[in-house]
């Protein structure tokens, strides 16, 4: 059973999330502040932390930074009412795996958690195979799907990708595109179309080999 730590200063939201996730089969613990979260992380192991961005005294980014120093393997999903591509990418650079915006649907929350768990399994495979660190940017399945789409279509615009991926919130797709672009895996031309770089094509070949290895 996967262990999830819910970190939010809103007691009502913590209670709601706890009920939902317990019903989905997760073991749950709660923290009302960043300080309390760090205390729990020191004494217990967690697979995932749901971490509110805006908290008094010790905010989500500060808590994320300290948490990752103590337990790098714990996956972190940021919860924010102020979702922008910029602060989401900032959180990713500091070690978060994904983010979800308030208000969110239960299905979206559970899907995000499942994706992050899959990301962890993928990264374990990368570590075992000692592949290039660049592959870690493809731990998220959405980014791998973007890579496959760009490989099959050669180039696509943002809204084409949004439709093909079936994601309602286009800012999520922008976020993942930005991560891939900063990793040098994709590029954008003057017509705003996205395509794979040469490095991206090489990585896709490696990704296929890795997936075949993990499914064997």
Q: How many angstroms from the chain centroid is the CA of residue 29?
A: 20
Total Cβ atoms within 10 A of residue 67: 27
Collapsing DSSP states into helix, strand and coil, what is residue 71? coil
pTM of whole model > 0.75?
no
Count Cα neighbours of 116 within 13 Å in the Cβ-side half-sphere: 26
* Domains contained in the chain, CATH given: 3-128 (3.40.50.2300), 131-215 (1.10.10.10)
DSSP letter assigned to residue 140: S
The DSSP bridge partners found for residue 4 are 28, 48
Tokens representing 56 are 């008094």
Per-residue model confidence as pLDDT tens for the chain (216 residues): 899 999 999 999 999 999 999 999 999 999 999 999 999 999 999 999 999 988 888 988 999 999 999 998 899 999 887 656 677 778 888 889 888 888 888 999 999 998 888 777 666 654 444 455 455 667 788 988 999 999 999 899 999 999 999 988 899 899 999 988 888 889 999 989 999 988 788 777 777 766 665 665
Tokens representing 183 are 């990793």
- Alpha carbons 68 and 203: distance in angstroms, whole number: 27
């Amino acid at each position: 059973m996967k262990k999830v730590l819910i970190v939010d200063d809103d007691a009502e939201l913590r209670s709601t999330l706890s009920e939902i996730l317990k019903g989905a089969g997760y073991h749950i613990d709660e923290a009302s502040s960043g300080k309390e979260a760090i205390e729990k992380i020191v004494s217990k192991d967690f697979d995932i932390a749901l971490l509110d961005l805006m908290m008094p005294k010790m905010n989500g980014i500060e808590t994320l930074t300290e948490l990752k120093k103590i337990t790098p393997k714990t996956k972190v999903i940021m919860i924010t009412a102020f979702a922008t591509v910029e602060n989401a990418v900032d959180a990713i650079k500091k070690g978060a795996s994904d983010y979800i915006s308030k208000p969110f649907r239960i299905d979206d929350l559970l899907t995000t958690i499942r994706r992050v768990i899959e990301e962890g399994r993928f990264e374990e495979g990368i570590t075992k195979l000692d592949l290039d660190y660049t592959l870690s940017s493809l731990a998220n399945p959405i980014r791998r799907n973007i890579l496959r789409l760009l490989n099959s279509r050669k180039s696509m615009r943002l809204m084409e990708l949004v439709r093909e991926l079936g994601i309602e919130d286009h800012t999520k797709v922008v976020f993942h595109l930005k991560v891939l672009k900063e990793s040098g895996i994709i590029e954008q031309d003057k017509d705003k179309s996205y395509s794979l770089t040469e490095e991206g094509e090489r990585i896709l070949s490696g990704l296929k080999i890795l997936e075949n290895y993990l499914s064997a």
